[in-house]
Amino acid sequence: MYMPLFSKTFYSSLIKCFCLSFLLLFCTDKSYGQIAEIRKLQKQLPAITDSLHYVDVLNKIGLLIHTKSADSCFYYATHAKAIADRLDYTKGQADAQTNIAITLALKGLYSQSLTYYIQARNLYLQVGDKDNAVQLLMNCAISYDFMGNSKRSLEFAKRAIEESKQLKSDSIVSMMLVNYVNLDYGMSNKAIHSYFNRAEKIALKYKDERTLRFLRQMQADQLLREGKNEEALAIIVETIKAAREHQDDYHEMEGLYMYGNYYKTQKNIDSAIACYKTIYQMAIENNYGYWKVQILELLLDAYQIKGDVSQQLATNKLLVKAIKQNNANNSSFIGDYVQYNKTQQELNKYRANYVNNRKQIIWLVVLVIAIGTITVVIFRLYKDSKHKAEVLASLNNMVNHQNEELQQTDEFKSKLISMLAHDFRSPLGSAISMMRLVRDDDTLRKEELEMLYNSIETDMQNILLTFDNILQWVKKQMSGFNYQPKKLSVFKLMADAGSMFKDLMQSKNLTLINNVPQYLTIVTDKEIIQFINRNLIHNAVKFSPTGGIIVLGARHNGEETVFSVEDNGKGMSEAQLNALFSLSTIPNDSSNKGAGIALTICKEFVNKLHGRIWAESKRDAGTIFYFALPDK
């Protein structure tokens, strides 16, 4: 798009040609008069039957007519967009959005124009039109420049130049290079001429006469800035002549404007006024309202320099009238734009609702069909799977039961091993201690030795007999718990269990009292109950003080037989009592760890016999262990 050739005080007229770079893409006959081409296209409209082509022609007319009438450009753009939206024609939508953005820029609504430029660029990218997408970046840069945001302007311009390097053809690059020069205010004269040379080579390559005329005017403007007035004058006259030959009113007016400025620098005010009057007359003939205000301001300034008061007054009246007319036109346009924008929002909302409702209906139909299909399939699968589920449930129950039995068997085997280790550790230890005594003490007499030998022999025979009985029982239990009840004398059970620790009790001078009635009997598994008795008695021996008393008891209370082992040791706290039969609270010290494991196994065995086990204790008053076994 075109940028101002001169100072920013004249920008409002030159911005009217922002979109001229797009003529490179739309117009094929560069030498044909712009107004003539507009009339030709307008005549073609009624005969066009292809809707897409109709949209393209509307957009082309809107683009060509924007320098003459921004309002007409807006009319054609909105008409084209409405049809393109209905046809879902993306290229037509993009062209229409671009023309709307141009119109907004012509009216000074730069921020709004940026919105439409970005929307149009995204649409161009959707259809793969990278040329127009890149040029819209430059249009955004120019809009930012007129908004006073030079930083954003230069960012967009550089981005446009970078993206243009990726284009298949460089036909649009010449105009972009010229625009870039106008946006970079810090560019050196050397760099400016370098960009101009590059742009000229590209324009000559494609025989782009419109861009060449614009470029030559830019070169003339640069020469004027550098003070090379005569060189600039030759180019100005050349561009005016070329513009007239090609019926290019805009560039002719621009050339005349530069011509007038040249005369002002030469103090030739009358010639400058003549140029400005010619421009004003062309603006009236072509209905270029925005030129009227700018040229009248220049004429007013020239008459002030000349001191022509009467012409100043007449020009001032024309200027006031032109400004009022422009303001009225702009107000009318803004009202039209607001109404159009509101209508567009309502249409977009309606389209969105329509699309959503249509999607919902489609999804509902699909859902109903899917639900019906799934229901039929599920019903058939249900019939087939019901029987399979029953069979599977039965198999799962069987497997779970077998797994539980296997787990219980493994746990029971572990307890058997622990029981064997625990039952024979103490008596074997005592026997070993006595044998060491015999070996190490040379002062023992023959009678004492014989007594010790007899004691050791008796202990070992008892251990062997007990071991043999337990071993036979363990063999029967290896495949899992096998309850083998027998009618047993409770008195004898307690006496046999206590005899295992005779030597240990003698070493601590302990007294064992068996208060169990001799008539009392019980039907149960002998080896399990003896393991429990031996461990409870062993605990009592272990924790009784020297010279202490251990009392064994048993009674039948009508439903169960209750066993008891009492010692007069130091007793236990409440916390120790609560933790007695829990494996997770077994102490780590070696003296108590074995007893803790044994008590845990005792509890497991009592549970297997459907009994219960507990203890009562007080500090410094001793402890009583109880376990009770039901009659059935």
At 351, the amino acid letter reads: R
Q: What pLDDT, in 10s, does the model give residues 222-259?
A: 888 888 888 989 999 999 998 888 877 778 888 999 89
DSSP letters for 153-212 = HHHHHHHHHHHHTTSS--TTHHHHHHHHHHH-TT--HHHHHHHHHHHHHHHHHTT-HHHH
**pLDDT tens sequence across 163-178:** 988 888 888 888 888 8
Tell me the mean pLDDT in the region 371-380: 85
Instruction: Please give the domain boundaries of the chain with CATH numbers for all domains.
Output: 1-156 (1.25.40.10), 483-630 (3.30.565.10)
Stronger pLDDT, 471 or 631, i.e. the higher one: 631
Smallest Cα–Cα separation from 529: which of 593, 567, 475, 485?
485
Instruction: Answer whether 73's CB lies under 8 Å from 113's CB.
Output: no
Structure letter (DSSP) for residue 614: E
One-letter amino acid of 421: A
In this predicted structure, what is the pLDDT of residue 487? Answer: 94
Question: What is the spatial distance between Cα 301 and Cα 10, in angstroms, rounded to a whole number?
Answer: 13
Determine the pLDDT at residue 593.
Answer: 44
Beta-carbon count within 10 A of 475 CB: 10
pTM (two decimals): 0.49
- The mean per-residue pLDDT over the stretch 43-60 comes to 94
Alpha helices in 246-308 (DSSP H): 249-265, 269-285, 289-306
DSSP 377-407: HHHHHHHHHHHHHHHHHHHHHHHHHHHHHHH
- The string of pLDDT tens digits covering residues 263-294 is 988 899 999 999 999 999 988 877 666 678 88
Pair of tokens at residue 527: 């080896």
Owner of token pair 């393109």 = 84
Place of tokens 């007080």: 618
Selection from 424, 423, 417, 425 nearest residue 477 by Cα: 417
Dig out the tokens for 571 from the structure. 């007793």
Are residues 554 and 520 in contact, defined by beta-carbon separation less than 8 angstroms? yes
For 561, the enclosing helix (H) or strand (E) is strand 560-567
